[in-house]
Amino acid sequence: MTASSTLAPPAVDQLRELLHRHDLPDTDPERILALVESGRTARADAAELTGLAISAAAGLIAEEPAYAKLAARLLAARTADETREQGILRFSDSVAAAYAEGLLDPDFAGFVAAHADALDGLVDHAHDAAFEYFGLRTLTDRYLLRHPETRAVLERPQHFWLRVATGLSDTVAEAAALYRRMSRLAYLPSSPTLFNAGARHQQLSSCFLVDSPRDELDSIYQRYTQIARLSKFAGGIGVSWSRVRSRGSLIRGTNGRSNGIVPWLRTLDASVAAVNQGGRRKGAACVYLDTWHADVEEFLELKDNTGDEARRTHNLNLANWVPDEFMRRVEADAQWSLFDPKEVPELVDLWGEEFDTAYRAAEAAGRAVRTLPARSLYARMMRTLAQTGNGWMTFKDAANRTCNQVGNGGGVVHHSNLCTEILEVTSDDETAVCTLGSINLAAHVRDGEVDFATLGETVRIAVGALDRAIDRNWFPTEEAGTAHRRWRPLGLGVMGLADVFAALRLPFDSAAALALSTRIAEEVALAAYDASADLAAAKGAHPAYPLTRAAGGVLHPDHWPDARPTRPEAWAALREKVARHGLRNSLLVAIAPTATIASIAGCAECVEPLVSNLFKRETLSGEFLQVSRHLVADLKRLGRWDAPTREAIKRADGSVQELDNLPAELKALHRTAWELPQKALIDLAAARAPYVDQSQSLNLFQASPTIGRLSSMYAYAWRAGLKTTYYLRSRPATRIAQTTVSSNLIALAPADDSAVACSLENPEVCEACQ
Amino acid sequence: MTMLLDSGMDLTLRPMRYPEFYERFRAAIRNTWTVEEVDLASDVPDLAKLSPGERHLVHRLVAFFATGDSIVANNLVLNLYQHVNAPEARLYLSRQLFEEAVHVQFYLTLLDTYLPDHEERVKAFAAVEHIPSIRDKAEFCFRWIDSIGSLHRLETRADRRAFLLNLICFAACVEGLFFYGAFAYVYWLRSRGLLSGLATGTNWVFRDESMHMEFAFSVVDTVRAEEPSLFDSTMETEVRTMLDEAVAAELAFARDLCGEGLPGMNTADMRRYLEYVADARLARLGLPPAYGSANPFPFMELQDVQELTNFFERRVSAYQVAVGGTVALDEAF
């Protein structure tokens, strides 16, 4: 009461008016006002009040997801005020203001000025309603252009979408088509494109694959420089270190012995951490190592948080580049030999039978540094996965066997990228590059079905935009530019698959889900190839096209003889078109993790199940709570979305399996990633693999991993023909005591002596705690 | 049959009397973290963005953290380790001692990073003597450490009750209230996108402290099962008085930190939060609530929910240390 008497009436009235203007169902403006009153300071001005109202609404999302929309609208209103105060009303005003501050490319600003009326006419702020709070918050904090000194926002969300669309287009019509998709959150380019489209340095690519340094000092230092430059402009780096000699190898110049790869990777670690991507996020890199490299065991310890800090790299990600021969020896429980690349330099550039032959010959010639049981190394790999989530399993032979760039003298795939979805050839003077974008499948569901016609259209628009990005792209290193212009690879992916399954009531492990997921992948590939062939007809095939398998008539699905395309006639027509015109792009499809853009779009990440029905997102802009909207809708239908249910879900870490009286159908539908059989995730990935010509960032989940289960799982993934896998996600061994769940509701579990004894004596086989 | 608080130095692990304590020890090991994993880089520019009131709050907060964990460690060594007579419980306490040391190292690193000025650092560490709101909390702790300082064997009923009060004090009031209060400020800052490095380290400290508290309460549960008569109405009265004092001390600290109030954080809300937490501690001890307050801080809800971190942005704190088994190719997964 004292609060309202001292509060400047105009400020609170304004806020009340704003809250009531967005009168959304299931939200209570007066409740927000009460929270604001309680949290405000005596001298609160309008900006502080709006800020508190946004926080208050955001804090209620876990209780009522409708507050996410309200918080988003308050935030959008604040951005509108902030731009209006600077005289920015139209799109062209925003571009002019940002250009005047030196943030934009002159040609881009000129194009916008020349077509100001047509472009301004495209903007529709009503599309702001598509945002949930978390997405708009991320966009506002990190993506919208800001004044270099005042840090005031220079564009509204719809201005932002149109800027990116225009930055990727040659004509107003192209910009309009792309803007329509993006403003409805139906297609989103990846973060570097969102950051840099229309900007001074239009570095639009997400991924760079840098070939292993040659086994010499100058080459190693040259790689640090390249990686730092690539990292500075928001790219993630994949780099191999397999050509560099192992520990104990003779250094002829000094007659000393090498310390192996670890000290070099320490330097890389420090270098990556030092590069800040335009102040927006830290650099990130993944180092790949061939499984035969003699330093592989030390490599697997790089992320341990115990042991000698001088041999640890906390910023790098790690991945194993595994040949089939290794997996066969694991299966056969045979020995495995480790080599110094200085002694056997040919192994790095070989794959398939040629690799197998050379590897066995080197063994027979006694050139191995050391031999150990293959299963002992495999167990070490599994342990690293369990302990750090890192040490991703990627399969060299599957990657090369199916890559369109490999085959007719094109080259060799030596490793993948930071997120294991890109597979492109590299060499000492070619850094592979990929520009990514993802289609939000959730935005393509109409009347309980996937709208394949619209999906195909979105794919064509996306391929056009991704292809134009190649010509606009500014490359931080010459090695990157060279490769990109020759191969013109694209990485078109999808996100929101879990939302589609939920909307269509398909459990992740059902046969119908598998069929639909595969059909989606097939339609995306068909439309993408068709669009690329059309571009080839109009603008010419990419320069290295003659080196590709496609030039020899082999398309990616052909590597999967068991694949059963649902539209053989469309594939036949496509083959004819490709034979006539070639392809504008050597590769087209890659399923990236989409962490940030999925949160902007408010959909589930790529092809992944939900990790929990209730989870928080930690980002640079703070922490936010998300609730599965599908679950809330179902519970509301049952009249069960109430405080006790919410507490029960929270106590169960976002699981609904122990909720009383929940129909089995709903329990099956709302299983989390931890509760689904991982075999189903691998089967889904394997079934879509024929239509993904690069790869997929496939996370796997094991709440309490054991070596036995992990080794079975990854061997299965390899046998299923997956090219790559990504993180192994596990859960904390202990957890924070919940502060906001009534503690008297937490039943004190009576000590069950038999279970305790069992897990003590035989921790690995006891199922009680798994 | 011997009981947990019987004097002596029991060395027998088989048959194990309290396997639960041993399980807690193992679980704690799986959650090892090191200070080097916490990235404080983004905090430094954040500090420059703080308003004077917020800066005052942060400086007071780190000054409290600078000494808080050392006090807990001292009580552990001087009292708990001595009197909880089961080797499996002492395994857990040894592990807890290590964790307290890591926390001290974390807050030391934090202070060195936040306060580049040598004089200011010295002042921060001296806070326990100079700043009344911090000194009062420390004195509360010292009083309870000293309350059983002369006891070397828990011979009488009175001895055991005195020990239990010390144990409950450090679980419910120090780790369970003073630290929980301090954590709330950290999460309030994070809810505004500030000091994410502090929040990350605090997440891990919080996880550890939750486990310490739960261990202490499970010792209480065990003693209660073995010697129910120790828990009478006198004990209840003493616990309630102790919690009242702790809430008052923490509230004085809150007044010092919040001053006239900051956007989203003020003494009135903090009081409700502390009362809410104190009620939760009473409930854990099987006692009726004293205050009946509801949690006023929505950002604390976030704390209860699992994290999903984009590795471009933060380190993931969820991975386990220690995993067992051998290679198999036919297990279900």
pLDDT in tens, A219-229: 999 999 999 98
- The DSSP letter of residue A400 is H
Residue B66 lies in domain: 19-302
- A730 contacts on B by Cβ (under 8 Å): 318-320
Q: What is the CA angle B268-B272-B273, rounded to 5?
A: 115
Closest listed residue to residue B104, CA positions, set B46, B62, B166: B62
- Asked if B263 and A41 come within 8 Å (Cβ–Cβ), the reply is yes
- Asked if B42 and A625 come within 8 Å (Cβ–Cβ), the reply is no
Closest listed residue to residue B317, CA positions, set B96, B32, B19: B32
- B16 contacts on A by Cβ (under 8 Å): 760
Q: What is the CB neighbour count within 10 angstroms for residue B53?
A: 17
Q: List pLDDT tens digits, range A715-768.
A: 999 999 999 999 998 876 655 556 665 543 332 222 222 222 222 222 232 222
State the pLDDT at residue B304. 59
Q: Does B211 touch chain A (CB under 8 A)?
A: yes
Q: Chain B residue with minimal CA distance to A713?
A: B333
Between positions 202 and 241 of A, the ones with CB within 8 A of B are 236
Q: Does B13 touch chain A (CB under 8 A)?
A: no
State the pLDDT at residue A9. 60
Q: Chain B residue with minimal CA distance to A702?
A: B333
Q: Is the pLDDT of residue A58 over 50?
A: yes
Domain boundaries, chain A: 2-184, 629-669
- Asked if B329 and A711 come within 8 Å (Cβ–Cβ), the reply is yes
B142 assigned to some structural domain: yes
Distance from the Cα of A5 to chain B's closest Cα (Å) equals: 17
Does B236 count as an annotated binding residue? no
Return d(Cα A145, Cα B322) in angstroms, integer: 45
- Asked if A734 and B313 come within 8 Å (Cβ–Cβ), the reply is no
Helices (H), A101-156: 106-114, 116-120, 133-138
- A134 contacts on B by Cβ (under 8 Å): none
B149 assigned to some structural domain: yes
State the pLDDT at residue A740. 63
Q: Is the pLDDT of residue B305 over 60?
A: no
Mean pLDDT of A694-713: 94
- A309 contacts on B by Cβ (under 8 Å): 36
Return d(Cα B137, Cα B142) in angstroms, integer: 9
Distance from the Cα of B275 to chain A's closest Cα (Å) equals: 12
Number of compact structural domains in chain B: 1
Distance from the Cα of B258 to chain A's closest Cα (Å) equals: 10
Q: Does A133 touch chain B (CB under 8 A)?
A: no
Does B209 count as an annotated binding residue? yes
State the pLDDT at residue A131. 95
Q: List pLDDT tens digits, range A725-737.
A: 999 988 766 555 5
- Asked if B305 and A614 come within 8 Å (Cβ–Cβ), the reply is yes
B322 pLDDT band, cuts 50/70/90, is low
- A741 contacts on B by Cβ (under 8 Å): 304
User: pTM for this structure?
Assistant: 0.81
B230 assigned to some structural domain: yes
Mean pLDDT of A259-270: 95
- A143 contacts on B by Cβ (under 8 Å): none
Distance from the Cα of B293 to chain A's closest Cα (Å) equals: 12
State the pLDDT at residue B117. 87
State the pLDDT at residue A741. 59
The closest CB to that of B323, out of A56, A706, A716, belongs to A706
Does B130 count as an annotated binding residue? no
Give a three-class secondary structure readout of A275-324. Answer: CEECCCEECCEEEEEECCECCHHHHHCCCCCCCCHHHCCCCEEEEEEECH
Between positions 258 and 317 of B, the ones with CB within 8 A of A are 260-266, 268-269, 277, 280, 283-284, 295-296, 298-317
B119 assigned to some structural domain: yes
Closest listed residue to residue B4, CA positions, set B169, B285, B225: B225
Closest listed residue to residue A678, CA positions, set A650, A715, A626: A715
CB B152 within 8 A of CB B82: yes
CB A83 within 8 A of CB A49: no
Q: Is the pLDDT of residue A700 over 70?
A: yes
Q: List pLDDT tens digits, range A633-650.
A: 999 999 999 989 988 988
Q: What is the dihedral of CA A567, A571, A572, A576, to 10 degrees?
A: 150
**Which of B258, B320, B321 to mutate to probe the A interface, most A CBs <10 Å?**
B320
Helix (H, G, I), strand (E, B) or coil at A31: helix
Instruction: Decide: residue B170, CB within 10 A, 0-12 exposed, 13-18 middle, 19+ buried.
Output: buried
- Assigned token pair, A116: 């100001």
A249 pLDDT band, cuts 50/70/90, is very high
CB A535 within 8 A of CB A467: yes
Give a three-class secondary structure readout of chain B. Answer: CCCCCCCCCCCCCCCCCCHHHHHHHHHHHHCCCCHHHCCCCCHHHHHHHCCHHHHHHHHHHHHHHHHHHHHHHHHHHHHHHHHCCCHHHHHHHHHHHHHHHHHHHHHHHHHHHHCCCHHHHHHHHCHHHHCHHHHHHHHHHHHHHHCCCCCCCCCCHHHHHHHHHHHHHHHHHHHHHHHHHHHHHHHHHHHCCCCHHHHHHHHHHHHHHHHHHHHHHHHHHHHHHHCHHHCCHHHHHHHHHHHHHHHHHHHHHHHHHHCCCECCECHHHHHHHHHHHHHHHHHHCCCCCCCCCCCCCCHHHHCCCCEEECCCCCCCCCCCCCCCCCCCCCCCC
Catalytic residue numbers of B read 107
What percentage of chain A carries pLDDT values higher than 90? 72
Return d(Cα B187, Cα A197) in angstroms, integer: 35
Mean pLDDT of B59-74: 91
CB A392 within 8 A of CB A724: yes
Between A and B, how many CB-CB pairs are < 8 A?
Answer: 250
Give CA A87 to chain center in angstroms: 37
CB A738 within 8 A of CB A651: yes
In angstroms, what CA-CA distances link A477 with A214, A435, A508, A542, B131?
18, 15, 42, 20, 56
B319 assigned to some structural domain: no
Return d(Cα B144, Cα A117) in angstroms, integer: 75
Q: Is the pLDDT of residue B312 over 70?
A: no
Name residue B4's beta-bridge partners: none
- The DSSP letter of residue A185 is T
- Residue found by looking up tokens 């001595």 in the block: B82
Give backbone dihedrals phi and psi of A336, rounded to 5 degrees, phi first.
-135, 135
The closest CB to that of B31, out of A623, A733, A760, belongs to A733
Q: Is the pLDDT of residue A180 over 70?
A: yes
DSSP codes joined into one string, A566-588: S-HHHHHHHHHHHHHH--S-S--
Q: List pLDDT tens digits, range A505-526.
A: 999 999 999 999 999 999 999 9
- Assigned token pair, A526: 């068909």
Return d(Cα B112, Cα A293) in angstroms, integer: 41
State the pLDDT at residue A615. 74
Return d(Cα B73, Cα B70) in angstroms, integer: 5
Q: List pLDDT tens digits, range B139-195.
A: 999 999 999 999 999 999 999 999 999 999 999 999 999 999 999 999 999 888 889
Q: List pLDDT tens digits, range A571-623.
A: 999 999 999 999 999 999 999 998 889 989 999 999 999 988 987 766 555 66
Q: Does A266 touch chain B (CB under 8 A)?
A: no
Q: Which residue has the higher pLDDT, B237 or A742?
A: B237
Between positions 654 and 713 of A, the ones with CB within 8 A of B are 654, 677-679, 702, 704-713
Q: Which residue has the higher pLDDT, A273 or A556?
A: A556
State the pLDDT at residue A756. 28
A338 pLDDT band, cuts 50/70/90, is very high
- Asked if B192 and A39 come within 8 Å (Cβ–Cβ), the reply is no
- Residue found by looking up tokens 């790559």 in the block: A724
State the pLDDT at residue B180. 93
A278 pLDDT band, cuts 50/70/90, is low
State the pLDDT at residue A2. 41
Between positions 78 and 117 of B, the ones with CB within 8 A of A are none
- A744 contacts on B by Cβ (under 8 Å): 283
- Residue found by looking up tokens 């301090």 in the block: B182
Return d(Cα A187, Cα A443) in angstroms, integer: 9
Return d(Cα A296, Cα A246) in angstroms, integer: 9
- Asked if A621 and B193 come within 8 Å (Cβ–Cβ), the reply is yes
User: What's B233's domain CATH number?
Assistant: 1.10.620.20
Residues in chain A: 770
Mean pLDDT of B281-302: 90
Q: Which residue has the higher pLDDT, B102 or A25?
A: B102
Q: What is the CA angle A630-A134-A187, rounded to 5?
A: 75
Mean pLDDT of A10-27: 85
Q: Does A306 touch chain B (CB under 8 A)?
A: yes
In angstroms, what CA-CA distances link A349 with A240, A244, A356, A559?
12, 13, 12, 21
Mean pLDDT of A662-682: 96
Distance from the Cα of B119 to chain A's closest Cα (Å) equals: 29
Secondary structure tally for chain A: helices H, strands E: 31, 20
Worst-scoring range by mean pLDDT, A416-425, A567-576, B293-302?
B293-302
Q: Does B56 touch chain A (CB under 8 A)?
A: no
State the pLDDT at residue A621. 54
Q: Does A41 touch chain B (CB under 8 A)?
A: yes
Q: Does A504 touch chain B (CB under 8 A)?
A: no
Q: List pLDDT tens digits, range A471-496.
A: 999 888 888 998 899 999 999 999 99
Q: Which of A132, A155, A421, A522 is catalytic?
A: A421
Name residue A104's beta-bridge partners: A199
Name residue A439's beta-bridge partners: A187, A494
State the pLDDT at residue A384. 93
- B40 contacts on A by Cβ (under 8 Å): none
- Asked if B283 and A763 come within 8 Å (Cβ–Cβ), the reply is no
- Asked if A760 and B180 come within 8 Å (Cβ–Cβ), the reply is no
State the pLDDT at residue A677. 97
B55 assigned to some structural domain: yes
In what helix (H) or strand (E) does residue A253 lie, and over which residues does it extend?
Answer: none
- Residue found by looking up tokens 């199922």 in the block: A767
Q: Chain A residue with minimal CA distance to B23?
A: A760
Q: What is the CB neighbour count within 10 angstroms for residue A676?
A: 17
State the pLDDT at residue A18. 86
Q: What is the CB neighbour count within 10 angstroms for residue B278?
A: 25
Mean pLDDT of A104-129: 97
